[in-house]
């Protein structure tokens, strides 16, 4: 490369690095502040600063030991979050695997109707449906059961899952059905023995998506679950806010623990968590 070209490139790098510093400051500061508060002793909480003078893990030991009235049900609550998220994961994977097989491989007549309904469910804000959903669950006496929350999570996470899986399934070679037909396998056998093993990678990814969807959910959990030992972690955390002297360092320790599983999963499955939307949109051009 010529000298002016190199200088231009150097200039570009310098400009970009300056921008990068601004971007990183903006991006990371709130997260840094959360971590900082979680290590701050209660006495220092009211002297704001950019670092912790006397770092302590006491907030974490309180949380883990459930040794404070605010975190008394911590293990129950994280357990509730986990149970709901795992069920959502399993059911979304099952429902979307079945649906995607029909959508991508069977070419049946009402496919456009199903895909329209799916997209509609994906797009309609779930909060629009929350009040009728709550009323419905109250009528069936399902308030305060995990089942009601799981059903809501499966419904709202299924469209995206179906989308990603169908997309992947369409890229598989047509030989699957042919191989099945040669072996004399029926549709169900083809689905179980030929189709399912092939879609395992995206299936794991959309299971993760459903898990995260349920783990992060706040509104439906707030509406459907009551009582300290039975709520999920985000609802329990928001209940902190209603008290006047909320222990913010403890709250931030709980926040950090709550944020770790999603952060790990997002980074592992990043590619799958955005690809469906883009391919849909790009295909639409």
Binding to other proteins in span 59-118, by CB under 8 A: 94-96, 98-99, 101-103, 106-111, 114-118
Q: Min. distance of Cβ 201 from other proteins in angstroms?
A: 18
Asked if 129 touches other proteins (CB under 8 A), the answer is yes
Rounded to 5°, angle at Cα 181 from 178 and 187: 105
CA pair distance 183, 193, nearest whole angstrom: 11
Write the CB contacts of 91 (distance below 8 Å, at least 6 apart in sequence): 150, 154, 210
Residue in 174, 197, 241, 244 binding other proteins, rule: CB under 8 A: 241
Is 30 exposed, middle or buried, given 0-12, 13-18 or 19+ CB atoms closer than 10 A? exposed
Residue 195 has what DSSP assignment?
Answer: I
| Shortest distance, position 67 Cβ to other proteins, whole Å | 21
| Cα Rg of the chain, angstroms | 24
Residue from 187, 196, 198, 272 binding other proteins (CB under 8 A): 187
Answer yes or no whether residue 239 interacts with other proteins by CB under 8 A: no
Contact segment (CB under 8 A) with other proteins among 53-61, 70-78, 197-205, 216-224 equals: 216-224
Residue 57 or residue 124: which is nearer to other proteins going by CB?
A: 124
Q: Is 255 in the site for other proteins (CB under 8 A)?
A: yes
How far apart are the C-alpha atoms of 151 and 206, rounded to whole Å? 17
Rounded to an integer, what distance in angstroms lies between the CA atom of residue 251 and that of residue 239? Answer: 10
Q: CA angle, 217 as apex, 268 and 98 as ends, to 5°?
A: 65
132 binds other proteins (CB under 8 A): yes
- Please, which of residues 40-59 interact with other proteins by CB under 8 A? 45-46, 48-50
Residue 209 to residue 90: CA distance in whole angstroms? 11
Q: Closer to other proteins by CB, 50 or 69: give it.
A: 50
CB under 8 A: which stretch of 58-66, 72-80, 201-209, 231-239 binds other proteins? 231-239
């Amino acid at each position: 490369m010529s000298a002016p070209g190199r200088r231009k490139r150097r200039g570009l790098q310098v400009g970009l690095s300056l921008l990068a510093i601004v971007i990183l400051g903006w991006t990371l500061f709130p997260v840094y502040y959360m971590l900082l508060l979680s290590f701050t002793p209660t006495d220092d909480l009211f002297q704001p600063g950019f670092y912790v003078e006397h770092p302590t893990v006491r907030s974490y030991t309180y949380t883990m030991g459930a040794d404070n009235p605010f975190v008394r049900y911590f293990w129950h609550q994280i357990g509730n979050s986990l149970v709901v998220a795992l069920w959502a994961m399993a059911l979304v994977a099952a429902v979307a695997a079945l649906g995607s097989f029909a959508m991508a491989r069977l070419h049946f007549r009402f496919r456009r109707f199903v895909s329209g309904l799916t997209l509609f469910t994906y797009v309609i804000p779930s909060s629009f449906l929350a009040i009728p959903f709550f009323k419905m669950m109250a009528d069936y006496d399902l308030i305060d059961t995990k089942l009601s929350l799981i059903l809501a999570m499966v419904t709202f996470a299924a469209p995206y899952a179906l989308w990603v899986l169908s997309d992947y399934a369409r890229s598989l070679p047509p030989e699957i059905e042919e191989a099945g037909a040669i072996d004399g396998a029926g549709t169900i056998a083809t689905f179980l023995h030929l189709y399912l093993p092939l879609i395992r990678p995206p299936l794991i990814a959309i299971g993760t998506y459903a898990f995260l969807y349920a783990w992060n959910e706040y509104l439906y959990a707030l509406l459907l679950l009551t009582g300290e030992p039975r709520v999920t972690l985000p609802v329990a955390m928001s209940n902190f806010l209603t008290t006047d002297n909320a222990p913010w360092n403890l709250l931030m320790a709980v926040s950090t623990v709550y944020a770790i599983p999603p952060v790990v999963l997002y980074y592992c499955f990043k590619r799958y968590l955005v690809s469906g939307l883009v391919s849909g949109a790009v295909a639409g051009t």
